[in-house]
């Protein structure tokens, strides 16, 4: 077997391991987003903080992204992913204990620890490119995120099976999340990522400084677009179960709508990489931002069940194009030696933005006029300023003179 053939085989092996992780372990994310707000509403001393447990997940992810990236740079992807699963398993167990004890704050602390898994999952898309040649990288990102299609089906199915499985609602759901995480180390034993370099293991400086990286227009705009795409998706999805139930539909309807949304998030991933290679990452990001704006318009058009489905499907598709496109832009804008710092700061910024969005989601939903419909409209109206920010940044990058672009 030639060296090139071996490298390609190795790249695809890692892609399939990460697809499986995204599909099976990633089911916990939809489980948390479906039940976290409803469980929070059941336990919260004030309805305005009902979605705080979900915000805690995002905060845990934002705080752990950079340390986790540094650990993987020194010890490898397998070590980072395994540690994240073990911490998240402990967090899910703590959340289940909080539900049993009727403690909102214990439950919130537990969901916060599960955010470490969310940070690790965010690095799957980067890990898929570690051993992949440049022309395979956009497809590798898309295929790994496409594994979320399995999570879209598995997560809501597990929610329906576990919500009322114990006397305390949702407690069995978080026990199932703990079990999923404990399966993670077995799966990651199959991962064959490149070993960290000697410089990375010793912490020696590599490539441009952090300040120079953040002044690179392609990196900055990719971070803005990725953050806006993910934050707006989270802003709306966090409120969806509360809005659906608040408008007279069942928790089962909410689970089905979130399931359709997650399918729309991940199903296009199998061809998004091809679209990026064909049309360019910036155009795919622009299409994603337009679709997110259409999602906002659909949500504000009414609160019938069909309108919820349409808005959430468009939300998922817009996230897919915006986030995968931004990831491809980012991957092409730095050298391998700069990978850990760029990926760490990017995901810290992304999940920091998502954390703010999730906090805003609960406040807008529960404290905007007293009705679920008013809260839902406020959530979706809040998308517009951030869409303008990301769209403006993308237009600025596109219109810059070619000789003004930073060398890569």
Per-residue pLDDT, averaged over 338-362, amounts to 82
Per-residue pLDDT, averaged over 315-327, amounts to 94
pLDDT at 340 over 90: no
Higher pLDDT: 119 or 366? It is 119
Higher pLDDT: 323 or 338? It is 323
Per-residue pLDDT, averaged over 367-372, amounts to 72
Q: Write down the residue that tokens 């155009």 correspond to.
A: 283
pLDDT at 407 over 80: no
Tokens encoding 371: 């009705």
Rg (CA), the chain: 20
With contact defined as beta carbons under 8 Å apart, do 188 and 125 qualify? no
Read off the pLDDT band of 206 (50, 70, 90).
low
Up-side HSE of residue 192: CA atoms within 13 Å toward CB? 13
pLDDT of residue 369: 64
Lowest mean pLDDT among 100-104, 134-138, 153-157: 134-138
On the 0-12 / 13-18 / 19+ scale of CB atoms within 10 A, 67 is middle
Q: Report how far apart, in Å, the C-alpha atoms of 161 and of each of 25, 158, 230, 255 are.
A: 17, 5, 28, 12
Cβ partners under 8 Å of residue 293, min gap 6? 318, 383, 384, 387
pLDDT of residue 402: 63
- If phi over 0 gives left and psi between -120 and 50 gives alpha, with beta otherwise, what is residue 218? alpha
How distant is the alpha carbon of residue 235 from its chain centre? 12
With contact defined as beta carbons under 8 Å apart, do 330 and 206 qualify? no
Top-level class of domain 7-190+208-401: mainly alpha
pLDDT of residue 160: 87
With contact defined as beta carbons under 8 Å apart, do 147 and 21 qualify? yes
With contact defined as beta carbons under 8 Å apart, do 174 and 98 qualify? no
Domain ranges of the chain: 7-190+208-401
| pLDDT 10s digits, 91-126 | 999 999 999 999 999 999 999 999 999 999 988 988
Read off the pLDDT band of 271 (50, 70, 90).
confident
Cβ neighbours around 205 below 10 Å, total: 9
Quickly list DSSP for 65-79.
Answer: HHHHHHHHHHH-HHH
Per-residue pLDDT, averaged over 62-81, amounts to 89
Tokens encoding 70: 């540094």
| pLDDT 10s digits, 238-248 | 888 888 988 98
Cα gap 265→260, rounded to integer Å? 9
pLDDT at 203 over 60: no
Instruction: Share the mean pLDDT of the chain.
Output: 87
| pLDDT 10s digits, 289-309 | 999 999 999 999 998 999 999
Per-residue pLDDT, averaged over 329-334, amounts to 85
Higher pLDDT: 157 or 6? It is 157
Q: Write down the residue that tokens 């990452």 correspond to.
A: 281
pLDDT of residue 106: 96
Q: Please report the beta strands in 259-320, taking only residues with DSSP state E, as ranges in sequence order.
A: none
In the structure, how many helices (H) and strands (E) does the chain have?
A: 19, 0
Cα gap 288→35, rounded to integer Å? 27
Instruction: State whether residue 322 is helix, strand or coil.
Output: helix
Tokens encoding 115: 């955010």
Quickly list DSSP for 344-372.
Answer: HHHHHHHHHHHHHHHHHHHHHHHSSSSSH
| pLDDT 10s digits, 225-238 | 999 999 999 899 88
Per-residue pLDDT, averaged over 174-199, amounts to 86
With contact defined as beta carbons under 8 Å apart, do 357 and 231 qualify? yes
Per-residue pLDDT, averaged over 255-267, amounts to 85
pLDDT of residue 325: 93
Higher pLDDT: 256 or 222? It is 222
Cα gap 343→326, rounded to integer Å? 12
């Amino acid at each position: 077997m030639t060296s090139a053939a071996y490298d390609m085989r190795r790249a695809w092996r890692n892609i399939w391991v990460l697809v499986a992780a995204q599909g099976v372990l990633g089911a916990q994310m939809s489980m948390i987003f479906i039940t976290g707000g409803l469980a929070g509403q059941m336990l919260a001393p004030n309805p305005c903080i009902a979605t705080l447990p979900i915000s805690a997940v995002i905060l845990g992810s934002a705080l752990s992204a950079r340390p986790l990236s540094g650990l993987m740079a020194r010890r490898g992807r397998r070590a980072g992913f395994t540690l994240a699963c073990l911490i998240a398993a402990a967090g899910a167990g703590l959340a289940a204990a909080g539900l049993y004890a009727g403690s909102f704050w214990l439950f919130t602390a537990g969901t916060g620890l599960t955010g470490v898994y969310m940070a690790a999952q965010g690095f799957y898309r980067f890990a898929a490119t570690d051993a992949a040649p440049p022309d395979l990288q956009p497809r590798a990102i898309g295929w790994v995120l496409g594994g979320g299609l399995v999570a879209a089906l598995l997560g809501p199915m597990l929610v329906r099976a576990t919500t009322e499985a114990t006397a305390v609602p949702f407690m069995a759901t978080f026990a199932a999340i703990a079990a999923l995480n404990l399966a993670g180390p077995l799966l990651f034993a199959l991962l064959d990522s490149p070993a960290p370099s000697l410089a990375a293991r010793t912490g020696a400086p590599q490539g441009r400084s952090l300040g120079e990286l953040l002044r690179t227009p392609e990196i900055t705009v990719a971070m803005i677009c990725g953050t806006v795409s993910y934050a707006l998706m989270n802003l709306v999805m966090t409120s969806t179960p509360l809005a659906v139930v608040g408008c007279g539909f069942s928790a089962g309807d909410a689970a089905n709508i979130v399931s359709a949304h997650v399918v729309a998030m991940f199903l296009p991933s199998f061809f998004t990489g091809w679209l990026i290679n064909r049309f360019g990452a910036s155009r795919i990001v622009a299409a994603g931002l337009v679709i997110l704006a259409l999602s906002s318009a659909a949500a504000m058009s009414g609160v019938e069940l069909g309108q919820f489905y349409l808005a959430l499907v468009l939300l998922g598709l817009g996230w897919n194009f915006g986030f995968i496109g931004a990831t491809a832009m980012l991957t092409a804008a730095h050298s391998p030696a700069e990978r850990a710092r760029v990926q760490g700061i990017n995901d810290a910024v992304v999940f920091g933005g998502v954390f703010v969005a999730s906090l805003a989601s609960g406040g807008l939903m529960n404290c905007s006029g007293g009705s679920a419909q008013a809260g839902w409209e406020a959530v979706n109206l809040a998308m517009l300023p951030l869409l303008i920010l990301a769209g403006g940044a993308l237009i600025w990058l596109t219109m810059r003179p070619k000789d003004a672009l930073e060398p890569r």
